[in-house]
Structure 1
Amino acid sequence: MKIASLTTYLIEPRWLFLRVETDDGLVGWGEPVVEGRAHTVAAAVDELSDYLIGADPRRIEDHWQVLTKGGFYRGGPVLSSAVAGIDQALWDIRGKALGVPVHELLGGAVRDRMRIYCWIGGDEPTAVAEEAARQVEAGLTAIKMNGTGRMRHLETTAQVSAVVDRVAAVREVMGPDRDVAVDFHGRVSPAMARVLCRELEPLQPMFVEEPLVPELSADLRRICDSTTIPIATGERLFSRWDFRDVLPAGIAVAQPDLSHAGGISECRRIAAMAEAYGVGLAPHCPLGPVALAASLQVDFASPNALIQETSLGIHYNQGSDLLDYLADASVFEFADGHVERLTAPGLGVQIDEQAVRKAAEVGHRWRSPIWRHEDGGFAEW
């Protein structure tokens, strides 16, 4: 068995799909993308294909080592995301060749269903209580919301109160038996992160996500030590070496992204590292169906998996949504806030290739929003 071709497809709203085919007709799918840099990642996949064409797709770990280290210059989101999508596709091929889901190749299932959550609100959250109520009615037991819009280095009492009021409104809807996660999205300074966590403690969020931008990870210990709220981070960490520096800081939840942090191979290792620190796993996944399927495969094989993010109905999904490129969307149906274990071979999903090719004729050039403060200065999005 040899790798015969690698083909990328730019798909609305902001996704990049990868199709890897072998010389005997097996097809694996991956989702290698950096949101807002999809064309750049596609170029990286094309460069890496020079090594992969003609290679045995079953040597997944060897390929991972060569692709991440063989170019001398290592790391960064573009390379690790390109490798992530390739890695997902190779695991998909391996599972299909053996007739088993990927989690069976990772040691077998440790659970029968996986708890999930969806987003409510947008980048600048409004009407969050109404959206939370709709998700409860749909059957979810957990949601995540942005805690803030743009935030200055130090903010007024009114701005702090506005954050607390939004979260309080959602907590009232969700009640004590459901969970509210609050995403700071790296928008706040270390000082404001401590202030906001202190004020949010009575509302008992499930966790506060990314209280700091990743370049300030050395300050995470101060945040963790200053609050009783569990701290989550990891969507902008791209390897086990990045997580090695934050796991001892006292975080409660590790959030590697299966399309950014080296794919199934690396995120499986990150999950095991996190377990050694008593840290739960909640893969970041505001992306498409391949990324979600890959995340769930790791979840079903990881004892410390806590909850899984999905992009269903997320505000970025304009023009396409999570289920639009699946031949059978029922695999992601949820009941009581959980998705049943995927049992089909490989990643467990069947991609509608005709729909993918048609969407790729349009493509996209999605870019991250550029935010500015009232004084004109750059603001973290």
Structure 2
Amino acid sequence: MHVIPELLVPVGSPDKLATALRYGADAVYLGGQALSLRAKTDGFSFSQLRDAVNLAHAGGTKVYFAMNLLAWEEHLPGVEAYLEELAGIDVDGLIIADPGIMSMAMKRVPHIPIHVSTQVSTSNSATAAFWRDLGARRINVARELGAARIRAMVRNVPDLEFEVFVHGAMCMAVSGRCLLSSHLTRRSGNLGQCTHPCRFDYKVTAVRLEERLRPGEDTWEIQCGGEFSQVMAAEDLCLIKYLNWFRNNGVASLKIEGRMKTPSYLAQVTDVYRTALDDLAAGTFRPGLYLEELQQLATRPLTSAFFTPQPVTLLPALSRSLTKNIVGRLVEPTGDDRWVMDVKHRFETGSPLEILFPGLRRPVLGADDYGVENAEGELLPTVHGGMRVVLRCAYPGLEAGMFLRAHHPGVYNSQAG
């Protein structure tokens, strides 16, 4: 029997946890305020972590805690302190990359399953079995693997769970083990401090390499115009079209990248993958719809990357003029069909807006369906990002934390579906 894989969603703060739960995560991964690979997120204090676990477990959602830095000697006392605190918190797994931290965890918190991070670059079944024999429950496979190699690992080590990244930003280095940030900014990506210099704009006039034993033969050549460009930036991963393959080949968990992404991004991408997995189970899979929605979030082209024999660019990024901007987020009801709303982007009152309901429901509000007021009850013709306003709207089913976005026809290449 083929089982629908778990949907594993990143949460970098308690606010993002609430968003992930609302839009359908089966499991979430998060970190503390140190010792994970997203040091620039707020992270969770131990008190917040306890509350997060209780909230998630109340709805049947699992919580995996990331301690996936590659530690220096001076980090080890902090690791000990973290493990002591985690002993009394009912997390469902520890995401670990450093073998020493794994050994410490198995001694201090042997009841918590170990999930081996993608930072370890597990790329074959022998390595997977090695980690299993040391006590690991799950492997997040190297991000450089194609479908055939993932299938072989799952079949050859059937008593391990396998987890695969299916969506989000990709690192230019092997499974994220990059030294570029350390070299250029003295902030180590392997300690969660990556400044993403591969996304910086560079200007290359010409680079031509010739190897000594092959004179006259170019081994590498880059030519660029006079403008700056993101010459090292990878496209973004998107494997939404291949969900049935993951189900049929026994992959346990599908992981989304993005603990540093905004709550609105998290809401939309979680909603797409949750709906797609539910549709897959129901036999109503609609890849064109999912790609159209994901294109609204893309700042770079979406690609199949290493998963397919040759990378397939599924969709280009939309121009800013065609993107449906998130314009507001509901904060709390005030009665009489009114909601406090934080404005995220400028919009004209009366312009059509979409409500982001779970299940890819996107009802459109017309000019007669809503109004926007200030605290004194005065109607506002235009609102701007950063304002807190009152939304007057009687649409049923609204909840605090939901988002509204601008409505206009998007651009979608039907051949990609």
Instruction: Report TM bin, short chain.
Output: 0.3 to 0.5
Which has the larger helix fraction? 1
- Comparing both chains, which one has the higher relative contact order based on Cα–Cα distances under 8 Å and sequence gaps of 6 or more? 1
Query: Which one has the largest radius of gyration?
Result: 2
Normalising by structure 2, we get a TM-score of: 0.42
Which has the larger strand fraction? 2
Normalising by structure 1, we get a TM-score of: 0.46
